[in-house]
Structure 1
Amino acid sequence: MRGDGQAFALVESNTTGSGRLFAAAARERGMRPVVLTADPSRYPYLKHDSIDVRVVSTSEHDEVLAACELLSESDGLAGVTSSSEYFIGTATAVASAMGLPAGDAAAITRCRSKHHQRMVLSASGVPVPRFRIVSDVVQAVSAAADLGLPVVVKPSTGTGSAGVRLCHKLSEVDVFTRVLFDSAAATPVLVEEYVNGAEFSVEVFDDEVIGVVAKHLGPHPYFVELGHDFPAPLSGDVAAALGECALAALSALGVHWSATHTELRMSAAGPMVIEVNPRLAGGMIPALVQRARGIDLVDWVIAKAAGHPVSRRHSQESSAAIRFVQVQQEGVVRSVSGLAEAARSPGVDQAVITAAPGDQIRVTHSFRDRVGYVIATAEDAVRAGACAEEALAHLRVEVGGAGR
């Protein structure tokens, strides 16, 4: 259904993942999605899906507000949100200023700054890794020596594991923090103890735990997510402990509205919060939730932002898993293959390669290195994961003449 009612503003979008689904969900609810962006060329789906666009300097709150006020005057505006980590704060503040449904903009700001988030959680007694906030290389090396190696070094803003590294030596801390501080987007840096344990995320909507996701990470020293299983194959007690820890973090930060994505590690002492994200999960996690539980979290987020009722029922009990294709070298994509074989594999719902011959590939050691994926469903998460891995083995992306 093509939405032809009130406008629904989306401030920027995801270049990969769920951004396109946000616009589709708004249309399904009878609204007209309008993407506000500084550069429409970043989102090829806009033209393909005939989505209305307004070119706006989205880094400027006042310009986004003015664009939304014009939409409200001309068409009526049902809501404002963003599928992007970097613009959810702006979208929330604008919606609030216009009297539209919105969360707490101050709480979003606390979450978006990792060092402020850590300070709030630590002061509230929520378990987090020991950490230091540093503003130069000398402080970073001193902090690492004080905390004890290995340590994790990361920028205070960002998403998708970009700029995150495990350092086993003080010399590595020195070199890596120099890179971070020399970048154009230099911000305070977090140096924190490394928590050895399995990694999970807890997906929450309006203070209700939707479920726990098991994460599969690539090799150190990086933290690229290469797979997810939903629901995580855990005992009820462990899943409950992770959920309770996530809710405690959200309460401390004052985040109680719409979707949140909290990352944790299960340490020897119990759950420990790594990061709270005041937005819907990326990495195709919403697609896993929909396949496993029949819950459309993208639709829930759009409904919440438009003031529509949200049905909290789920329609099924199964499991889903995703595994990603990761590029290992830079260069030009020579060929892609294996899609038909992957799609025919047992349990597979979807097999996708997002790179095409001729594309220039740059290795970033972040989510941007993922150039395809397989989603599989089964009666339990272990089986779903095995099906996804079996199908993934068929996918090939040749870069610079070398295979994956």
Structure 2
Amino acid sequence: MSERLLLLVESNTTGTGRLFARRAAELGVVPVLLCADPGRYPYAAEDRLRTVVVDTSDESALWAAVRALEAEATVAGVLTSSEYYVPTAAALAYRLGLPGPSAEAVRACRDKAEQRRALTGAGVGSADFAVVSEVAGAIDAARGIGLPVVVKPVQGSGSLGVRLCADLDEVAEHAGTLLAATVNERGITAPGRILVEQYLIGPEFSVEVFGTEAVVTVAKHVGPLPVFVETGHDVPAALPGEQEIALRETAVRAVRALGLGWGAAHVELRLTGTRIAQVIEVNPRLAGGMIPELVRRACGIDLVRAQVLAALGAAPELERGGYARASIRFLTCAQDGILAPSAALDDAVHRARTVPGTVEALLYRAAGEPVGPAEDFRGRVGHVIAVADRSGRAAEAADRAVALLGEAVSYADLHTEEAYA
């Protein structure tokens, strides 16, 4: 019998990328990573993941690589865990006659300007906005919307380039920086447009939607302004019923308005009133930030497995199998520092893991590496996950554990020899 392959078009660099490959293998399918640079994904070598090197931005080259794989095995599904390659994977699945979202819908959704227009046209609550291609236009838009405003790229992920601007000088400076970029962090051509948006005030949440079903609501913790780095999540969010309903209903309306409805969607929202939910943005993919792992631990629902099953044409498994609470806290730094020597790092991780309820604690970087204030997800230094029977207990345990993990960072003067001792 011919092998069945699940093609993974690129990957995210942290979080669930590795899990997609593992879930495929558990289901008896061979995961194959199609990527331009395998070195970007250390887990691929560590897990001995089959890899095909190909320019994934070149449609012809990608198709040729897929046809070569088809000659030796059965391609059973196509997926990606990367925000940037959702349209590519969707188009490839369609060309192969395999399950997947509408390539046109996810392409439009990834353009946050098009997304805003679609949500506004459908009457789904979201921020006032303007799409501009010049600094002068950004300044005019900020005047019209009212300061402060959020200035961000029309495409992106992980809070990259998202900034709250308090005055017109800040608007001009940040807009100029974004518009000057010709490519993004993945080397993909930047579209030359940016968004200027109303700053929505209120607690932030996400709703994890699968198909058109709201699976779970997540409480989000965001670091200090003017950036929007996510520093933690609580699953499920502890909310009054009316607020839970408002968030879930708005999220599903947003997914429908955007022509989605296949597989996972990560909908970010703020509650700007007791029962008023406003959409920040919709991401046509599984959540990042280890949220799928929190959902698995708290609710017994494996969203990664569900996404893989959907890609293989099988029914996803979304029945709740647990009623715990799970929290994650990311280690970030308020100032420049350096990670302690290995022994001190090991000790900090060990002590974080001894906090009752903590099930995971790790650092992303090695001893002696410099760290600094996070501008986006790449500035996170590590994380802890805690599980308990009540939301408050899980959150408290995660807060205690991440504080202990933070003792691995030294804030000595980086220019002194003592800092590196």
The TM-score, its normalising length taken from structure 2, stands at 0.92
SS, match of residue 393 in structure 1: helix
CA shift, 1:308, in A, is 2.2
Report whether the alignment pairs 1:218 with 2:223.
yes
Counterparts of 2:302 and 2:413, CA distance in 1: 39
Counterparts of 1:233 and 1:359, CA distance in 2: 37
- Structure 1 unmatched runs, 5+: none
CA contact (8 A) 1:230 1:321 kept: yes
CA shift, 1:331, in A, is 7.0
Counterparts of 1:291 and 1:365, CA distance in 2: 29
SS, match of residue 139 in structure 1: helix
Report whether the alignment pairs 1:357 with 2:363.
no
Counterparts of 2:373 and 2:178, CA distance in 1: 17
CA shift, 1:160, in A, is 0.6
SS, match of residue 219 in structure 1: coil
CA contact (8 A) 2:301 2:317 kept: no
CA contact (8 A) 2:292 2:302 kept: yes
CA shift, 1:360, in A, is 5.7
The AA in structure 2 aligned to 1:372 is G
Counterparts of 1:291 and 1:134, CA distance in 2: 42
Report whether the alignment pairs 1:257 with 2:267.
no
Aligned residue pair count: 401
Deviations 1:82-140 (A, max 9, x none): 00000111001001111011111111011110000001111111111111101010000
Of 22, 25, 37, the residue aligned with 1:24 is 22
CA shift, 1:364, in A, is 5.5
Counterparts of 1:130 and 1:42, CA distance in 2: 37
Counterparts of 1:12 and 1:107, CA distance in 2: 20
Tell me the residue number matched to 2:409. Answer: 398
SS, match of residue 260 in structure 1: strand
Of 284, 300, 306, the residue aligned with 2:312 is 306
Report sequence identity in percent.
46
CA shift, 1:380, in A, is 2.1
SS, match of residue 242 in structure 1: helix
SS, match of residue 319 in structure 2: coil
157 and 399 in structure 1: CA distance in 2 versus 1, 3 angstrom threshold: farther
RMSD between aligned alpha carbons? Answer: 1.8
Deviations 1:246-301 (A, max 9, x none): 11111111100001100001113710001000000000000110001111100110
SS, match of residue 86 in structure 1: helix
Counterparts of 1:130 and 1:313, CA distance in 2: 37
30 and 15 in structure 1: CA distance in 2 versus 1, 3 angstrom threshold: same
Tell me the residue number matched to 1:126. Answer: 124
Tell me the residue number matched to 1:64. Answer: 62
SS, match of residue 338 in structure 1: helix
Tell me the residue number matched to 2:178. Answer: 180
Report whether the alignment pairs 1:291 with 2:293.
no
Counterparts of 1:237 and 1:71, CA distance in 2: 50
CA contact (8 A) 1:333 1:399 kept: yes
Counterparts of 2:340 and 2:193, CA distance in 1: 40
Shifted more, 184-193 versus 391-400: the winner is: 391-400
- Structure 2 unmatched runs, 5+: 184-189, 415-421
SS, match of residue 13 in structure 1: coil
402 and 95 in structure 1: CA distance in 2 versus 1, 3 angstrom threshold: farther
Deviations 1:189-238 (A, max 9, x none): 10011111000000011111111000000000010000000110101111
Counterparts of 2:332 and 2:33, CA distance in 1: 29
SS, match of residue 404 in structure 2: coil
The AA in structure 2 aligned to 1:398 is V
Question: 1:5-404, aligned counterparts within 5 Å?
Answer: 5-185=3-183, 186=190, 187-268=192-273, 270-329=276-335, 333-335=339-341, 336=345, 337-359=347-369, 361=371, 365-396=375-406, 397-398=408-409, 401=412
Deviations 1:306-344 (A, max 9, x none): 112322322111110000011445576443351111111
CA contact (8 A) 2:332 2:374 kept: no
CA contact (8 A) 1:334 1:400 kept: no
CA shift, 1:51, in A, is 0.6
CA contact (8 A) 2:54 2:61 kept: yes
Counterparts of 1:109 and 1:328, CA distance in 2: 36
CA contact (8 A) 1:231 1:319 kept: yes
CA contact (8 A) 1:162 1:364 kept: no
